Chains A and B, each alone.
Chain A
Amino acid sequence: MLLAITVSYLLGKAALIGAIVAVSLGLAMYSTWAERKVAAIMQDRVGPQRAGPFGLFQPLADGLKLFMKEEIIPNFANKFLFVLAPGLAMVCALMSSAVIMWAPDYTMADGTVYPFQVADINVGILFVFGIVSLGVYGIMIGGWASNNKYSVMGSMRAASQAISYELPMGLSLLALLMVTGDTSMRTIVQQQDSFLHMNVWKQPLAFIIYLVCAFAELNRAPFDMAECESELVGGYHTEYSSMKLGFFLFSEYINMFISSVIMACLFFGGYHYPGMDWVQAHAPQWVFVATCILATISKGIAFILFIIFVRWTLPRFRYDQLMNLGWKSLIPLALLNLLITCAVILKFFN
C-alpha cells in the first residue's frame, strides 16, 4: 500500500525534522559548554564562568566569534569543494537522526497515528551504517580541497581511521541483528521493553566493540589523531576559518549527540524507562510521550558525558597502534562475538 502523502503528513514530518534539528543543534552547542566544564572539573579547576551565569552564554559567544571572523578561501583551492566539505560533514551528521525513534507513536484525537520517527525504513541500522560511511567524505574532501600537503596527510589519516573502524562496527551490529532478528530501528527499540530486556545484557561484547568504534568514528579521544594533528601541524581543517571551520567542529558535536542517541536506542532501550507503564496508565498521552522523549535524550546526554569523561582521561593512540587495534584486535574480536552468538542461538534458542 502506498504512503498517503497529504499536506498534513508533510507538515507533520517537517515539524518533526525541524524539532530534531533544533534540539540537535542546541544540545551540540551546550555539549561544547559541558565539555569545557567537565574538563575543568576533572582537572580541579572551574570552567567558563564569565559569559553569563556559570558560563552558559559561552557557546553563544563562541558562535558569534566564528561568525565575525574573516572568510578565507586559499588561492589555488578548489572553491566548490572547499565550501562543500563542511556542509557535507554537517549533512551527514544530521541525516543519521532520521531513523531514531524518539518516543512511542502518538495517537491523535481523530485516529491518525503520528510516529516520532522521521522515517521508519525497514533497513534502519544499515541506513545508519551507510551514513557513517558517508561521513568520511567530508573529511577527505576538506583535506583535498585545501591545496595543502599537511591537510591531505591529516585527512588521509582521519579517513583511514574512519574506514578501518567501520568494519568491526558492522560486525558487532551483525551480532546484534542476529539477536533482534530485524533491522528496523522501531522493532529494535520496541523489543527492549524492560530493564532486563536491554540489548546490552544480550550482547555485552558487541556493545563494547561498538562503543570503541563509535569513539573512532567520531574522531574523539583516545582516537583523535585527526584533531591532534590539527593542533600540532595541520589536519583537514587547517585552511578553514570562520563559519566553515565552525561547521566542521560543530558537526563533530552533533555527530557525538546523534551517535549517543543511536547507541542508547540500539543497546539501552531507547525511550523506555522504569515506571513507564504506570505513567502510561495514569497520565495524559502527551505527558507520556514527553517523558519518553526526555528519557531518550537523557540517555544520549549520559553517553555524551561519558565520551567527554573518556576524552579527558585517556592519552591518545599513536597512529600505528590505532590501526593495529582496529584491524588486528577488534575485527577478530567481533568475529569471535559473532561465532559465540551463533553458537548460543543455535543451542538454546532453536
Chain B
Amino acid sequence: MELLTNRAQIVERKPMTFAERIYLPGILKGLSITLGHIFTKRATYSYPKVKRQFSSTFRGLHILNRDEEGRERCTACGLCALACPAEAISMESAERAKGEEHLYREEKYAAKYEINMLRCIFCGLCEEACPKDAIYLTQTFAPSAFKRETFIYKKEDLVLPLDPAKQIAK
C-alpha cells in the first residue's frame, strides 16, 4: 500500500538477541543509570525557606494604585468589572466631597470595591481594561484561609497603603 505522507516510521520488529533475552545486561544498565541519579543534585525547592523567583509579568493579587500625590486612581468606572470573565469584581461609587481632594483624583471614586478571590482567575483582563492605571496585579498570590468570607477582598485589603505611595512620590 502506498504511503500518503513521508512521516511514517518503520518499526523494527527483530527477534530479541540472546543478551536481550536474558534481561540481565539491560537490567544492569538500568541500575547503573538509577545509581547515577543518586549523586545528582536534587531538583526540589524546600518551599517555605526557598521560594522560586516569579517573572516580572506574574499575575498575582490585585492592588489599587495611587498616583504620585497619594490620591486614589480608581474612579469606579466599572470597566474592570465588565472585562472580568469570572464576574469577580463588584463596586459602588460615591461622589467626592469638598474636603477630600487630596484623597481622590476625580469626582467619582469607589466607596465599596470588592474582589472575590475564589472567582478570580488572575487573567489580568481587569488590569488591561483599566483606563486610569488603577488596578494592578502584583507578585504575591492569595494566602489560604479557613472561611469563604475571608476570600472576598474589600477595598481596604486592596488599595495601596498611603505611606509607601508618598515615599514613592518622594
Contacts and interface: CB of A to CB of B under 8 A. Distances in A.
Contact of A41 (B24, B27, B33, B38): B38
A42 B31 contact: no
For chain B, the bracket of interface size reads 10 to 19
A44 B40 CA distance: 7
Interface in A208-251: 208
Nearest to B37: A42
B6 interface: no
A45 B34 CA distance: 13
B46 A46 contact: yes
Interface in B13-29: 24, 27
A137 interface: no
Nearest to A38: B38
A46 B42 contact: yes
B31 A310 contact: yes
Contact of B37 (A44, A310, A314): A44
Contact of A45 (B27, B30, B35, B44): B44
26 contacts: A41-B42, A42-B34, A42-B37, A42-B38, A43-B37, A44-B40, A44-B41, A44-B42, A44-B43, A45-B44, A46-B42, A46-B44, A46-B46, A49-B46, A208-B24, A309-B31, A309-B34, A309-B35, A310-B27, A310-B31, A313-B27, A313-B30, A313-B31, A313-B33, A314-B27, A314-B30
A348 to B, nearest CB: 27
Contacts of B34: 42, 309, 312-313
Contacts of A313: 27, 30-31, 33-34
Contacts of B38: 41-42
A313 B24 CA distance: 13
A45 B42 contact: yes
A213 to B, nearest CB: 14
A309 B34 CA distance: 8
Contacts of A49: 46
B43 A45 contact: yes
A42 B43 CA distance: 11
Contacts of A314: 27, 30
A43 B43 CA distance: 9
Q: Which 3 A-B pairs have the closest CB atoms?
A: A313-B34, A45-B44, A44-B43
Contacts of A45: 42-44
